[in-house]
Amino acid sequence: MEPLTLGQALELEHREIDGGFEAYVASLDDSAGVQATPEPAADAGPLMAALTGLRRHIYLEEEFLFPPLKRAGLMGPIFVMLREHGLLWKQLDAVESLFQGSADAGEMRLACNDLLALLSDHNAKEEPIIYTQADEILGAEASGELLKFLDQGTTPEGWAASAA
């Protein structure tokens, strides 16, 4: 099997992050699809993994992926991605705040679904525009370093998206 390109690996991470939010929302429902009790911590594992994963994903893009793409002339698309990262970051903060507070399952479901809608719109632009260009513009060494970060990297404490 041939190794994934950077663009493919980033798209796969999108699916994993989205899946974490979706799994958490699903855990707020009982097996019959009826709203469960108001307890929002039904299965917090997927939510926590998705929150952490999306913050790290945004960090990787803003700090390592976007600068060389901007230098290669993709200023307009990168500006849009940065603006949307700010919106995503604010919604991440809102979801996390609700989770840590006294939000009920309905509030958590709504906040997570709002985040998923933002992600869907963002990913629909980022994947065909940014990721295909990344595979063409970045050299093998830079792509390899970013793939390594996907496996091992973490977001520095206190870092936030530039437009947050």
Just give the CATH number of 6-152. Answer: 1.20.120.520
User: Once rounded to an integer, what is the mean pLDDT over residues 131-148?
Assistant: 90
* pLDDT over threshold 60, residue 6: yes
- 64-81 burial string, b = 16+ CB within 10 Å, else e? ebbeebeeeebeebbeeb
Which is higher by pLDDT, 147 or 118? Answer: 118
User: Once rounded to an integer, what is the mean pLDDT over residues 62-89?
Assistant: 97
Which is higher by pLDDT, 151 or 32? Answer: 151
Q: State the burial class of residue 39 (Cβ atoms within 10 Å of its Cβ: 0-12, 13-18, 19+).
A: exposed
The model carries a pTM of 0.91
Q: State the burial class of residue 6 (Cβ atoms within 10 Å of its Cβ: 0-12, 13-18, 19+).
A: buried
* pLDDT over threshold 90, residue 103: no
Q: What is the mean pLDDT of the chain?
A: 90
